[in-house]
Amino acid sequence: MALRTCAANFLSYARITAPERRAGGRLSIATFHRVLPDALRQAYPYRGLAVTPEELDALLAYFGAHYDCGSLATQYDRYLAGTTSPRPLMAMTFDDGQHDNYQYALPLLEKRGIKATFFIPVLAVEKQQLLWHDRLGFAISALLEESAVGERRLDVVLSKAGLARTGTRSIAEEVVRQAKRLDPLSRARLVDDLAPVAGPREPDFARLMTFDELASLARAGHEIGSHSMSHPLLPECSDSALSYEASKSREILRDCTGQPVESFCYPNGDSDERCRAAVAQAGYRLAVTTRWGNNGKETDRYQLRRFDMDTRRLRNGDGIDPAMVALRISGLIEALKAALGGKGAGN
């Protein structure tokens, strides 16, 4: 880490990673998920998906100084129109419709004068039920708090699903990674089997936004986009299910906000040509993936790339390091990996 920090600061000083140099003439999209004070982040099973309000504010300050920031649909239209700006264009996006976005991110966006896009899983909001990966993660955390007894109970449920506690990631991250390989029914059964074993341990801070809060965001000038109805892995869906996930979510969000719903976010970033076609057929103009990188005129509007803001890779001892941010989204790391024969994956 010390070597990378030194390299990042040298490259920043030499302006090799300067945004106007690395992102000029292209559209960048930043992605956030949860925004939690550090004490709550420590209680969240997937810490890489959470930034603290202080970290978010530091990132918004950096992006606001070096990029022309706004919501996705607005920034994409400006980009296609060839808007002249001294700073590269960037869109701000928040996935999963978490209430902490409303509680902690919204005041910081207002403070910085930045509009953002919030991608909403509609049924989760309607039912006020956590997304499956959160239900799984909190159940695992609750079992692990019971020490050896809880671990044995966890292993029994995982074994029944053909899974195991292996790998170098956190246990929750590793189980979710493996669970994504299960068929949809087996994955749902795993979550349902773990929840009662762990008990009702889902914390209040983890809840979803409400439809009233979504409408309030829209009135404040933020964009509300769809993250599907039920947050499935879309390539697993039938044609009729794909149509439902894309079309019905757009209809409900449009009725809720009174505004057009133009942007779609593929759950887990997974899509194929059928998913792309279903999203286009439902009337969306744009769709985002989890693929790493920025976007040029050649980029398919239904396969837009983003930069996921995992602050574990952006901090030094004093907090967010602007030089590390610049290096992280410069494309240089990916180019080096590709040159060395790696996958070049940014996240």
* 96-146: pLDDT as tens digits: 999 999 999 999 999 999 999 999 999 999 999 999 999 999 999 999 988
Whether 89 maps to a domain, the answer reads yes
* 261-288: pLDDT as tens digits: 999 999 999 999 999 999 999 999 999 9
Count structural domains, the chain. Answer: 2
Whether 118 maps to a domain, the answer reads yes
Per-position DSSP letters for 21-60, written without gaps between them: HHSTTSEEEEEE-EE--HHHHTTSS-GGGEE-HHHHHHHH
The token duo for 70 is 């706004």
* pLDDT band for position 147 (cuts 50, 70, 90): confident
Mean per-residue pLDDT for 188-202? Answer: 86
Q: Is the dihedral of CA 88, 110, 30, 94 positive or negative?
A: negative
pLDDT at 271: 96
Is 267 found in the same domain as 238? yes
Range of the domain at 176: 132-201
Cα–Cα distance, 347 to 338 (Å, whole number): 14
Contact 145/137 with Cβ under 8 angstroms?
no
Mean per-residue pLDDT for 314-338? Answer: 87
Geometric angle at alpha carbon 314, from 209 and 205, rounded to 5°: 25
Is 91 found in the same domain as 186? no
What is residue 96's three-state secondary structure?
A: coil
Is 165 found in the same domain as 184? yes
Cα–Cα distance, 168 to 91 (Å, whole number): 33
Helix, strand and coil in the chain, % to nearest 5:
50, 15, 35
* 30-48: pLDDT as tens digits: 999 999 999 999 999 999 9
Is 166 found in the same domain as 155? yes
Closest to 267 in 3D by CA, of 88, 119, 157, 54: 119
* pLDDT band for position 168 (cuts 50, 70, 90): low
Is 277 found in the same domain as 192? no
pLDDT at 341: 67
Is 146 found in the same domain as 55? no
Is 273 found in the same domain as 137? no
The token duo for 306 is 């983003």
The residue out of 177, 201, 225 marking a domain boundary is 201
The token duo for 242 is 């794909």
Cα–Cα distance, 259 to 263 (Å, whole number): 12
The residue out of 201, 233, 248 marking a domain boundary is 201
Half-sphere exposure of 299 (CA within 13 A, CB side): 24
What is residue 114's three-state secondary structure?
A: coil
Is 316 found in the same domain as 178? no
Mean per-residue pLDDT for 329-337? Answer: 83
Is 320 found in the same domain as 189? no
Whether 320 maps to a domain, the answer reads yes
Is 243 found in the same domain as 101? yes
Mean per-residue pLDDT for 80-104? Answer: 95
DSSP state of 303: S
Distances (CA, A) of 243 to 121, 184, 238, 279, 280: 15, 17, 9, 8, 10
Other CB atoms within a 10 A radius of the CB of residue 2 amount to 7
Other CB atoms within a 10 A radius of the CB of residue 82 amount to 8
The token duo for 267 is 């759950």
* pLDDT band for position 335 (cuts 50, 70, 90): confident
Helices (H) and strands (E) in the chain, counts: 17, 12
Whether 347 maps to a domain, the answer reads no
* 233-249: pLDDT as tens digits: 999 999 999 999 999 99
Is 185 found in the same domain as 91? no
Decide if pLDDT at 1 tops 80. Answer: no
The residue out of 143, 177, 201 marking a domain boundary is 201
Cα–Cα distance, 300 to 220 (Å, whole number): 29
Whether 23 maps to a domain, the answer reads yes
* pLDDT band for position 344 (cuts 50, 70, 90): very low
Cα–Cα distance, 290 to 271 (Å, whole number): 10
Query: In this structure, what CATH number is given to the domain that contains residue 110?
Result: 3.20.20.370
Other CB atoms within a 10 A radius of the CB of residue 46 amount to 17
Is 45 found in the same domain as 149? no
Whether 222 maps to a domain, the answer reads yes
User: Residue type at 342?
Assistant: G
Whether 246 maps to a domain, the answer reads yes
Per-position DSSP letters for 120-186, written without gaps between them: E-HHHHHHT---HHHHHHHHHHHHHTTHHHHHHHHHHHHHHTT--S-SSS-HHHHHHHHHTTS-HHH
Decide if pLDDT at 343 tops 60. Answer: no
> How are beta strands 89-95 and 117-120 bridged, if at all?
parallel
Whether 345 maps to a domain, the answer reads no
